[in-house]
């Protein structure tokens, strides 16, 4: 690994200033005092990190630039948080924290190790925000008042089960690419006859949207029923053999690093309340959140709308106009939408906006070109 130089220190400083802007904004937006306090605490950590890189620049003889505005990714996350709340941007912020950790892991410097550890802890906090937050020295840790909160510290990088934003983005992408390909194929086969293209586009939109909704409903409902069955079995085991279940829970905490006495004490305290005991066992042993088993109707409705929005884009020009104008407009509008979808994906993946948008345009264009050529060939034969 290369030593930290001026260019790298400048990039690290920008990274930390982005994080300061993000968490300051989240703390202002958040109405829950505990969550807002957690965001303010993280923002304080990020300011300390920024001071480290500013000092590093001075040590290297470079000038520390004045703070600038946050990058597009940060501005977008903040905007979504203002519109839908901080819970809605959890996946994106966790992805951002993961990107920061990877950035620092690839660098070689004594100060980087502590900062990377902080970034890992910041990501973990998003899984523990149900607990009160306390600042322990240079690390941020919640006070573990419930075992469910301790369980949430595990596997911070795992996406939430709801994945609402991710499902919406990829639902729009699926509808856009599939119906654009269908419209282009029919356009090639029908020699550009607008009535055929419009009919095919609407049929593709409705068929795809209903298919997506039905598939998502069945999938989510089956998953929910499976989870409910597992929870029911856990409840039966708790009622039939509480001592064994308490011992199992204690062994879970023992594996997390607690002493045997500490693990026994925590498990005994949790088992004083049967409801808390079941909740904790479900989270620890099954890895489930009883409060977030998912809504089949919500998933179906979301999939229907997301697919329909994407699928409508190449069809709209044929509703408003016809002929070559509609064909060109459908292509241009779809290319713009493909790039926008790719840019939205970059919020989750952390890749460059231009890279993600360009990749989406290439994939969608390739699918449309292939189906258009196939349509021409079929039209010629027919």
Average pLDDT, the chain: 80
The predicted structure's pLDDT at residue 27: 92
- Per-residue model confidence (pLDDT) at position 109: 63
Q: What is the pLDDT of residues 341-364, one digit of tens each?
A: 988 888 777 677 888 889 999 999
Give the number of other Cβ atoms within 10 Å of residue 43's Cβ: 19
The tens digit of pLDDT for each residue in 14-47 reads: 888 998 999 999 999 998 888 888 888 888 888 8
The 10s digit of each residue's pLDDT in 38-81 is: 888 888 888 888 888 888 888 888 888 888 888 888 888 899 88
The answer to whether the CB of 356 falls within 8 A of the CB of 342 is yes
Beta bridge partners of residue 310, listed in sequence order:
none
Give yes or no for a contact between 302 and 196, defined as CB atoms under 8 angstroms apart.
no
The pLDDT of residue 86? 87
Q: What is the pLDDT of residue 309?
A: 94
In the chain, CATH 1.20.1260.10 sits at: 6-143
Residues in the chain: 382
In 3-state terms, the chain is what percent helix, strand and coil (to 5)? 75, 5, 20
User: Is residue 69 helix, strand or coil?
Assistant: coil
Mean pLDDT of 312-335: 92
Among 100-104, 123-127, 237-241, 256-260, which stretch is predicted with the lowest mean pLDDT? Answer: 123-127
Residue pLDDT, tens place only, 196-254: 899 999 999 999 999 999 988 898 888 888 888 878 887 887 887 888 888 888 888 88
Give this prediction's pTM.
0.60
Q: If you search the block for the tokens 């149900």, which residue do you land on?
A: 130
Closest CA to 367 of 180, 212, 202, 209: 180
380 burial (CB, 10 Å; 0-12 / 13-18 / 19+) is: exposed
Output 91 or 64, whichever has higher pLDDT.
64
Burial class from Cβ neighbours inside 10 Å (0-12, 13-18, 19+) for residue 126 reads buried
In this structure, CATH architecture of domain 6-143:
Up-down Bundle (1.20)
Query: What phi and psi, each to the nearest 5 degrees, are found at residue 139?
Result: -110, 155
């Amino acid at each position: 690994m290369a030593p930290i130089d001026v260019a790298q220190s400048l990039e690290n400083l920008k990274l930390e200033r982005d994080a300061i802007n993000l968490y300051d904004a989240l703390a202002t937006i958040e109405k829950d005092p505990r969550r807002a306090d957690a965001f303010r605490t993280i923002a304080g950590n990020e300011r300390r990190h920024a001071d480290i890189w500013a000092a590093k620049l001075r040590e290297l003889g470079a000038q520390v630039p004045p703070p600038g505005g946050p990058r597009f990714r940060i501005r977008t996350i903040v905007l979504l948080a203002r519109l839908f709340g901080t819970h809605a941007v959890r996946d994106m912020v966790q992805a951002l924290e993961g990107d920061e950790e990877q950035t620092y892991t690839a660098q070689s410097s004594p100060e980087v190790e502590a900062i990377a550890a902080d970034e890992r802890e910041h990501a973990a906090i998003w899984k523990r925000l149900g607990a009160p937050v306390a600042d322990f020295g240079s690390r941020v840790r919640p006070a573990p008042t419930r075992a469910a909160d301790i369980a949430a510290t595990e596997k911070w990088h795992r996406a939430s089960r709801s994945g609402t934003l991710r499902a919406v983005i990829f639902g729009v992408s699926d509808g856009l690419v599939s119906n654009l390909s269908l419209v282009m194929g029919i356009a090639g086969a029908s020699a550009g006859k607008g009535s055929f293209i419009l009919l095919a586009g609407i049929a593709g939109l409705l068929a795809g949207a209903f298919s997506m909704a039905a598939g998502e409903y069945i999938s989510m409902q089956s998953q929910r029923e499976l989870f409910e069955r597992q929870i029911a079995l856990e409840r039966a085991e708790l009622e039939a053999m509480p001592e064994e279940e308490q011992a199992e829970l204690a062994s879970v905490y023992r594996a997390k690093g607690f002493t045997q006495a500490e693990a026994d004490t925590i498990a005994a305290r949790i088992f004083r309340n049967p409801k808390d005991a079941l909740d904790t066992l479900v989270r620890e042993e099954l890895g489930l959140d009883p409060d977030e088993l998912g809504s089949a109707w919500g998933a179906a409705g979301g999939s229907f709308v997301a697919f329909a929005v994407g699928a409508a884009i190449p069809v709209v020009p044929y509703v408003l106009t016809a002929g070559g104008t509609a064909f060109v407009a459908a292509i241009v509008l779809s290319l713009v939408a493909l790039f926008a979808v790719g840019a939205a994906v970059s919020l989750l993946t952390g890749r460059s906006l231009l890279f993600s948008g360009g990749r989406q345009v290439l994939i969608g264009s390739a699918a449309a070109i292939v189906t258009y050529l196939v349509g021409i060939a079929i039209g010629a034969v027919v």
